[in-house]
Structure formats: C-alpha cells, structure tokens
Amino acid sequence: MNQKPSVLGGAMIIAGTVIGAGMLANPTATAGIWFVGSLIVLLYTWFSMLSSGLMILEATTHYPPGANFDTIVKDLLGRGWSIITGLSVAFVLYLLTYAYIFTGGNLTAQALQAPLWVGQIVFALVFAGCVWWSTFWVDRGTTILIGGMIMTFLWANGGLLLSAQPAILFDTAGSENGSYWIYLGTALPVCLASFGFHGNVSGLFDYFRGDAKKVARSLWLGTLVALVIYALWQFAVQGNLPRSQFGPVIAAQDNVAALLAALAQVAGSGLVRVLSLFSYMAIASSFLGVTLGLLDYLTDLFGFGTSRAGRSKAAALTFLPPLVACLLFPTGFVLAISYVGFAATVWTAFVPALLLYACRKKFGEGKGYRVYGGKWLMVWVFFFGLANVAAQVLSRANILPVFNG
C-alpha cells in the first residue's frame, strides 16, 4: 500500500480535529451575539488560531523529527514554561478525549441498543485502534469521515439552509433581549476551542518528512474547510430556530441533544436521525485528531520512540485514563468543553507567540519556512489570548453577562 502523505490527507486530519467540538457547541455559545456576531467572531478566531498554529510550525522546523511541544518549549522558553505548557496540553487533550468518548459512546450505545458503558468501550477501542496503528490510518479515517460529514451535512441541512428566514437570521423580529455584543464573553472561549488543532502540527511535520510548506497548506485548507462548515451550520441553525427559543437549549444539561430536539420541531424527526449520524462522524473525526496529537505529545515527553512497543505504551497512556474517567464519572460533553478554553489559550495563543519570538531570536531570520507577519502578528496572537482569558474570567465572575435566552 502506498502510504505517501498528501496535503488533502493532512488537511482532513486538521479539519476533522477542528470540526467535532465546534459543530455541537457553537450555536448555543453564540446565541447571545447571534448570526452576524458569530460570523465575525469565527473569522477573527480562525485567523488568530491559524496564525498561532503556523508559528508553532516555524519553531518546529528547527528541531529533529519527532520533536513535540515538550522538546521545543523546553529549549526555547525554559523548563518553567515547559511545565505550564505540558499541564495545559494534557488538561485540554485529555478532557476533549473524555468528552468525545462520552458523546461518541452514547451515540454508539443507542445504535447498538446496548448500555452506555458498552458503547463507550466499543467507540474508544475502534477509533483508538486507528490512532495506535499509524498517522496514515488517521489520515484515511478522517478523510472518509469528513466525506461522510459533508454528505450528511448537505442531506440534513439542505432543507434548513433553504428554509432559513431573514427575520430569524438577523433577529429583526425583535427578541425580548435586544443586546448582542455584551455576550461576547460567552462566545469567544468556545470558538477558540472550536479551532484547536495545535497538538497536531509537530506530528504533521514529521508525517510530511519535514516539508513545512505542505504542512502549512494542510493547516490553511483544513481550517478553511472547518470555517465554511461552521458558517453554514450557524446559518442553518440560527436561520430556523429563533434566538428567543434558545433558553431551554442553554438550560439543558445535555444541550447537544436539546438543540437537535429543538431543530426536530422545525424540520421533523427525520432530520435528527441524519444529524445524529453527522454528529457521530464529527465526534469520531475529532477524536482521531485530538488523540493523535496527545499520543505524539506523550511519545515525545516520555521518550517512548516510534516502535510498535513504544507506540503501544503511548496509546495506553493516551486512551486508558479518559476511558476509565468516562466510565466512572459520565457528566456530559458541553460541561467538559466549557473548561477547555482557558487552558487551551495558554498553548494556542500565549506560547506560540512567545515561541516565535524566542525562535527568531535564537535562530535568526534563516532561509526555511517563515510564517507571515513580524512582531505585529506575535502581538496580535498574544492579545487574542488575553481577550479570551479576560472573557472567561469576567464571565465566570458574573461581571460580563451570560445569555440565557
């Protein structure tokens, strides 16, 4: 079998990693700022997160194959930052893995008509096997899943896209709560978590055998695919379900199921079955991408190596803790996602900006891959991180209002 990596395959790994969380959490998180506001925030977040990912790529090019966050951050920023980054990477990726096992396992259990714990184990074992085997199988698996997601998305949302009403989409009917931008604090952190792919950058660089330009094209294409799908999904949901009717969805503990149920009242129960299939593939593709990034990070951190035995050790450390936690403490998807944004900000905004500054100071201009922009881009990404931290702190302190419908 020809296992030559392609830009499309790399892009699908990125798109698959990104799309899972955002598809299910974004419409609810952005209900306060509504459609136009959500598009602006998504575009702002996409550019900032893509830029920070490319910063990591530039830093990675100065290190040997297999080097991941631990090696790069320790060398450029010191042991203190390495510990902080390691804790944030582990927290985010483990929590996302836990959340995906919970939600994917729930959907698997429903399909098999089996207990929840059976669905969780089956889901984890099947998709963990792809990650354990090789990056190539993650490449192929996410490509198939993204293809299926596009087909089911068009199938499920074709009617919703056509039935979207301008009065609902732009809230011209005048919901009782006419304020929008005061709810920005709720939307920013979830949108940041919706564009998380940074754990895969170093792994892709190794996968493409040091071809940074192919990695960069994969990041551009993968995140653009995600951005377009997010925008169409916002259009489909917020063009059919009035802003004033998001209260029960937000109040529900499992507001993914509540959102699908609310859409079923608009478009019929047949839509929910297709959207459930779409959701399953979104969760599975994100699970593949996120856990691949976690496995690569742990391999570098503990020096497991790339042999089958080393990969097996890394896989056990990657999958067993979140699976056991999920079996013992199943509390839901969106609750977990709500805690990801703060920790993710550390290694998707602050650290990349600092890495690029330290990298150019240590290695000079060089003739290799260079991300666009200069110090202004570092400042942009760093302040993007500050904006997200401020939004989360002020929202949790009830200084910024939270939209409840």
Query: Is 254 a residue whose pLDDT tops 60?
Result: no
Which ranges of 30-62 would DSSP assign to H, the alpha helix? 34-60
Average pLDDT over residues 308-330: 84
Percentage, residues of the chain above pLDDT 70? 90
Which ranges of 61-134 would DSSP assign to H, the alpha helix? 69-77, 79-112, 116-133
Query: Is 341 a residue whose pLDDT tops 90?
Result: no
Query: Is 79 a residue whose pLDDT tops 70?
Result: yes
Query: Is 182 a residue whose pLDDT tops 70?
Result: yes
Residue-wise DSSP of 193-218:
HTT--GGGHHHHHHHTTT-HHHHHHH
As given in the structure block, the two tokens for residue 240 are: 């059919």
Say if 403 falls within a structural domain. Answer: no
pLDDT of residue 276: 76
Average pLDDT over residues 247-252: 78
Say if 405 falls within a structural domain. Answer: no
Query: Is 331 a residue whose pLDDT tops 80?
Result: no
Say if 404 falls within a structural domain. Answer: no
Determine if residue 104 is left, alpha or beta; phi over 0 gives left, psi from -120 to 50 gives alpha, anything else beta.
alpha
Query: Is 184 a residue whose pLDDT tops 80?
Result: yes
Indicate the pLDDT class of residue 1, thresholds 50, 70 and 90.
very low
Say if 402 falls within a structural domain. Answer: no
Q: Which of 74-83, 214-223, 320-329 has the lowest mean pLDDT?
A: 320-329
Reported as half-sphere exposure (CB side, CA atoms, 13 A), residue 233 has a value of 29
Say if 266 falls within a structural domain. Answer: yes
The count of residues in the chain is 405
Mean pLDDT taken over the chain: 84
pLDDT of residue 21: 59
pLDDT of residue 231: 92
pTM: predicted TM-score of the whole model, two decimal places: 0.85
d(CA 39, CA 235): 9
Say if 278 falls within a structural domain. Answer: yes
What's at 115, amino acid-wise?
A: P
Domain span at 272 = 7-397
Say if 239 falls within a structural domain. Answer: yes
As given in the structure block, the two tokens for residue 255 are: 């507001």
pLDDT of residue 255: 57
- Residues 277, 279, 285: CA angle, nearest 5 degrees: 105
Indicate the pLDDT class of residue 40, thresholds 50, 70 and 90.
very high
Cβ 272 vs Cβ 258: under 8 Å: no
**Per-position b or e across 50-60, b if 16+ CB within 10 A of its CB:** bbbbbbbbbbb
CATH at residue 219:
1.20.1740.10
pLDDT of residue 213: 93
Using alpha carbons, list the distances in angstroms from residue 172 to 38, 234, 265, 401, 404. Answer: 16, 17, 22, 22, 19
pLDDT of residue 106: 83
d(CA 370, CA 232): 32
d(CA 182, CA 31): 12
Say if 237 falls within a structural domain. Answer: yes
For residue 192, what are the contacts with CB-CB under 8 A and spacing of at least 6? 45, 49, 341, 344, 345, 348, 349, 388
Query: Is 383 a residue whose pLDDT tops 90?
Result: yes
Q: Which of 52-56, 262-266, 361-365, 379-383 has the lowest mean pLDDT?
A: 262-266
Query: Is 115 a residue whose pLDDT tops 80?
Result: yes
Average pLDDT over residues 281-286: 83
Indicate the pLDDT class of residue 136, thresholds 50, 70 and 90.
confident
Higher pLDDT among residues 173 and 399, named by residue: 399
Query: Is 94 a residue whose pLDDT tops 80?
Result: yes
d(CA 98, CA 120): 10
372: number of Cβ within 10 Å: 8
As given in the structure block, the two tokens for residue 205 are: 């660089």
Residue-wise DSSP of 223-292:
HHHHHHHHHHHHHHHHTTS-GGG-HHHHHSTTHHHHHHHHHHHHH-HHHHHHHHHHHHHHHHHHHHHHHH
- Residues 171, 172, 176: CA angle, nearest 5 degrees: 65
Indicate the pLDDT class of residue 295, thresholds 50, 70 and 90.
confident
Q: Which of 39-43, 95-99, 213-217, 328-332 has the lowest mean pLDDT?
A: 328-332
Cβ 256 vs Cβ 283: under 8 Å: no
Average pLDDT over residues 164-179: 77
The candidate with the shortest Cα–Cα distance to 277, out of 22, 21, 104, is 104
Number of structural domains found in the chain? 1
The candidate with the shortest Cα–Cα distance to 405, out of 193, 179, 253, is 179
Q: Match 């020096």 to its residue by tokens.
A: 303
